[in-house]
Chain A
Amino acid sequence: MRTLLRSELFKITRRPRTYIGFGAILIIVLALEFAFYAEGETLIGLVFQNLESVFRLEGKIISVNFLTYMLLNVLIIHVPILICLVTGDIISGEAANGSLRLLLQRPYGRVNIYMAKWLAGTIYTIGLILFLALSSYVLGYLLFGEGDLIVFRKGIHVFEASDVSWRFVYAFGMGILSMMVVASLSIMISSFTSNSIGPIVGTIAILIVLNIISTVAVNLMQPVLPYIFTTHFIKWQYFFETEIEWSSIYTGVFVQIGYIILFTTIGLINFKRKDILT
């Protein structure tokens, strides 16, 4: 398994598209942080002008913590696309170009091969999220320095700088879990097809549809919302409340782990049974 995993990671690192994700995240981070650096006070002033009659705000609002919190929001829409670019292609891309055949001619079970690909996809996913965390934190710290965090979510929550780090660790952990669901889904779809684009487009389409269902939340859909994995993609925000709803977070963790297991099992069974015709 270790040899297979090394080989999969080696292939991922040698593909140009692997670096598209890191490049895109860097561009998003740079764009947002420099935008706030240039015009942040004006932007924040507009947001807070209605509140100034009620609150008296002292100190700076824009800090590394504020920017990192803002950047975590890209997790829902942008990062899944970047993850799909690599994980959606991990089986189908090799099936399309024929190199999967050469791999399956080696004395390794298909379960091991699938799991090595899943692990490699997961490591890439974790790497991408950690890169988002690191780049937003380092640049934010250099540009804005430390500061308290003010969050608008079901009211206004203000956290002291010393009370924020652990929340970010949990939030990024939750983000990694959500993105592992995306990776598992795209790898599963990848096991069903023999073209590179299908699983990428398929995964993104599923995410868009489910995100719309989760967001619109019409009455009819309310009973199923807790069972849709995209509903839990915003659970990282729950760590930025004064009273944390742990039960809701646990539900999110269990549902998402359940989907990871489900997608991986379906993909594994399909990959183990399928005839390699390409």
Chain B
Amino acid sequence: MLTLLYQIGYMKLLEVQNLSKTFKNFQAVNDLSFSVNQGDIYGFLGPNGAGKSTTLRMVLGLIYPTSGKIIFKGEEITASSRNYLSQIGALIERPDFHTNLTAYQNLSMFARLSKIENREARIQEVLKEVRLDDRQHSKVKAYSQGMKQRLGIAQAILHKPDLIILDEPSNGLDPQGQADMRDLILKISREMNITVIISSHILSEIEQIANRMLIISRGKKLREGGVKELMEADEMNVDVKVDDAEKALRVLQENGYETTLKDSKIRVRCEESGIPAMTKKLVEAGIQIYEVKQQRTLEEYFIHVTA
């Protein structure tokens, strides 16, 4: 029954409750709670030093929480829990391998440690998935950053986990590398049916691939929910092109809107649901509207929320 519920995505795969971590006098994570559902691509956002890596490391048992609970598949993770890690794959910050070993040797070692059956076939399968099969016998020290990142993904999915945690997987990649990484993550989610938690500074990446997200700052949760829902719920910038910008500006300001004039367009701050009312005011004032364009990107939203 539990398996069935996970499969149809009704159950929380990972739940974090009131998690805190203090390093000496510095509180890195402060009473943080969130949950990741089966099948999510879960964006984990926050400015530098917000506590993202610390949180992800706590989930992986690399850092011990000061307080709070981490629940994976309904079971609380304690300091001595290790078995749950066989169902999680991760790439935290940099893909740090034994650089004097080849990609194949590194994966072979991890496959052994993960007690993977039919090791050879599985290694070849993941090397093919990440397009490193033709360079598998080269030493990792000869790899480019992009190849190392792809090898990092290979070791994360090697043991067919239910969840993979990717901390800045596109770090140091060129635009093509970032696009490849995005495609790979989507493939992992859709074709391999693996839930993904991804932390990234590249907000357009999260915007394109994540269905849910969490934004934290100074270790505290600011927002959590569906990416679209969150972005639509808060105020955003709407650019309006009209025949008489001066008059439109006056009308909107009289009606309490926060406005600026930009390149003969008026930029208005309002929620998505408030756009019809705003345009109605302009029409009632006899102003002709040529264009209404929402200007919100995740980047704008992120800056707005974390400011």
Contact = CB atoms under 8 A, between A and B. Distances in A.
A106 B57 CA distance: 13
A103 B90 CA distance: 11
Interface residues of A, number: 25
A106 B98 contact: no
B132 to A, nearest CB: 17
A8 to B, nearest CB: 10
Interface in A10-44: 10-11, 14-16
B261 interface: no
B80 interface: yes
A105 B85 contact: yes
Contacts of A4: 113
Contact of A107 (B85, B98, B105, B109): B85
Contacts of A15: 100
Contact of A7 (B57, B99, B112): B112
Interface residues of B, number: 33
Interface in A74-113: 97-99, 101-109
B14 to A, nearest CB: 15
Interface stretch (B37-45, B58-66, B214-222, B227-235): B58-66
Given A16-B100, A107-B85, A108-B82, A102 B155 contact: yes
Interface SS of chain A: helix
A277 interface: yes
A105 B94 contact: no
B62 A275 contact: yes
A207 B93 CA distance: 37
Contacts of B97: 99, 102
Contacts of A6: 112
Contacts of B155: 102
Contacts of B101: 14
A103 B113 contact: yes
Contact of A105 (B63, B90, B98, B115): B90
A100 B164 CA distance: 18
Interface string B73-85: 0000000101111
Nearest to A6: B112
B92 interface: yes
A3 interface: yes
A6 B112 CA distance: 9
B88 interface: yes
Nearest to B92: A101
A208 interface: no
A107 B61 CA distance: 10
Interface of B: 23, 57, 60-64, 80, 82-86, 88-90, 92-94, 96-101, 105, 109-110, 112-115, 155
What are the 7 closest A-B residue pairs judged by CB atoms, nearest first? Answer: A98-B96, A276-B62, A275-B63, A107-B86, A107-B85, A107-B82, A106-B113
Given A11-B98, A102-B155, A106-B110, 20 more contacts: A14-B98, A14-B100, A14-B101, A14-B105, A97-B96, A97-B99, A101-B62, A101-B92, A101-B96, A104-B60, A105-B61, A105-B90, A105-B92, A106-B86, A107-B82, A107-B83, A107-B85, A108-B113, A275-B23, A276-B63
